[in-house]
Amino acid sequence: MTMAASDSLARPARPHLPVLLACVLAVPLALAPMVVHDAFWLQILFNVLMFGALGAAWNLVGGFLGRISFGHGFFLGLGAYTTMLLLDAHVSPLLGIAVGGAAAALVAWLIAAPTLRLSGHYFAMLTIGLLQIGLLAVTNLSWAGGASGLSAPIGNQPWMLLFRDHVPYDVIAVALALLTYLVTHVSAHSRMGFYWRAISGDEAAARSLGVAAQRYKLAAFALSAALTGVWGGFFALYVGFIDPGSMFSLSLSVRIVLVAILGGSASLYGPWLGALALVPVAELTRAYWGGSSSGADVLVYGLVILLVTLFLPGGLLKLRRRDGAAGS
């Protein structure tokens, strides 16, 4: 396969149309917090944006590269703790969030170098181990708050990203979600993205054609971790409090994976669609039944996952493909 052929496959016929649509969609989403005043629905909007972005970041590794990671909560927690510790040192989160993303990328690069040679369940188990190491390490570090966690100061200091009202956080979340989509869009449609797909399909064949597989796998993992770390820092400011159990949670990592897989992995739109379908169901069932002892909220949440897994193994995007095939 020639380089020109690979470039043509890496670029969509109308590469700017999805970007334009995303920018247009961001406008009403940014205006929604100023019109909708119900805190519950604003919380759902924020969670859809965050988990869609986290699923899109995970998708660079789990979808395009084909390496299933259950440890992305580690990078989320690393970004959150880095931002909060720098905030305690009176460093603006405008810098702290970027440093948290860079720290996550650096750690991912160092960890991935010896581990990305693994694949399948071996790599998945390793990422779970990474998450548990992060949980134990932070719990036993007194200067990082230990088991008690860290709290953000209460105030209205925009230059420190501290607001008494959640509306500014929701608007920033829309901008950050748009930025996440743009980064993943450009990466997936670049030559690097084409090589990720080639490595996922047949790494040995890709290497035989001259693809520097290890370099591109490291790039995918570092970029995915950086985006996750940035969201971890922003999320820490949004909730105002973090602790090891909430940030280095296996269930949180699994939820990130589910959003991407249920929507349709190896697709730019799948994680966002998965978040749009999964997050409201989770939040509504928790709101209506979460306070009871019956566990009905968990039952409904699990039932949705089971049905989609059984009947739509390719994710929700498979519905669109079926409709397209039926209409052709």
Averaged pLDDT score across all residues of the chain: 85
Q: How far apart are CA 23 and CA 302, in angstroms?
A: 33
Q: How far apart are CA 234 and CA 98, in angstroms?
A: 10
Q: How far apart are CA 68 and CA 125, in angstroms?
A: 9
Enumerate the domain spans of the chain: 3-248
- Dihedral of the CA atoms 53, 58, 61, 65 (nearest 10)? -70
Confidence of residue 318 (pLDDT cuts 50, 70, 90): low
* Residue 314 or 157, more confident: 157
Q: What is the DSSP letter of 153?
A: P
| 295 residue type, one letter | G
pLDDT tens per residue across span 192-222: 999 999 998 888 899 998 899 889 999 999 9
What pLDDT is recorded for position 75? 96
* Residue 326 or 166, more confident: 166
The residue among 270, 271, 268, 258 whose CA lies nearest residue 305 is 258
The residue among 47, 52, 60 whose CA lies nearest residue 226 is 60
